Structure 1
Amino acid sequence: MCKRLEEVGCAAVMPLGAPIGSNQGLETKAMLEIIIQQSTVPVVVDAGIGVPSHAAQALEMGADAVLVNTAIAVADDPVMMATAFRLAVEAGVLARQAGAG
């Protein structure tokens, strides 16, 4: 499906990490790895990202970005949680650039 979206001109693809709002993490990791490897447009991992380490993992795998909603919206301190996600994204990008795994 993502390849077809690229072919019809989509500027990015947004595969799900897990069901929307589930906060289950990257349940579709094998599929995400294939999409990231084969995509010629940015890959934004959407849905299922429940804690900052999930975001870091997606960026380490090669995703270009993550979209986080529920995890921040339901946090006791949404501003602090958003800050934690920002730091995790930075860590994931740095790890990928450093040649992690």
Structure 2
Amino acid sequence: METEKINFRALGEAAIALQKRPPRPDPAQCNAEKNCDPIYCALEFVTKPNLSTAEAAFYLNRRPQTMRTWAMRDGTGPIRPRRIGGILAWNTSEVKTLAGVA
């Protein structure tokens, strides 16, 4: 049985090409007219009622683990999330108020 030779250089170049991604939009340039990733859209344009832990952490300049700690220890954080199906949901209006946007 004959084995095929693997061209590792070509595999390396393909892996590098896969790692090159288009740059993410600048948060300052993101507005309601553009179809942006919700993490990078300005908080003023967010209209959904609840945010995920990652989104709330991004807007409040905190780590997601800090947000989870606030949820775990009642009363330690400035806001409290709701649990929807076991997932933490942070009220958008509360996040806006805390961030000084609303």
Asked if Structure 1 and Structure 2 have the same fold, meaning a TM-score greater than 0.5 normalized by the shorter chain, the answer is no
Q: Normalized per residue, which structure has more helix?
A: 1
TM-score by length of 1: 0.26
Higher RCO, 1 vs 2 (CA within 8 Å, ≥6 residues apart): 1
Q: Which structure has the greater CA radius of gyration?
A: 2
TM-score by length of 2: 0.26
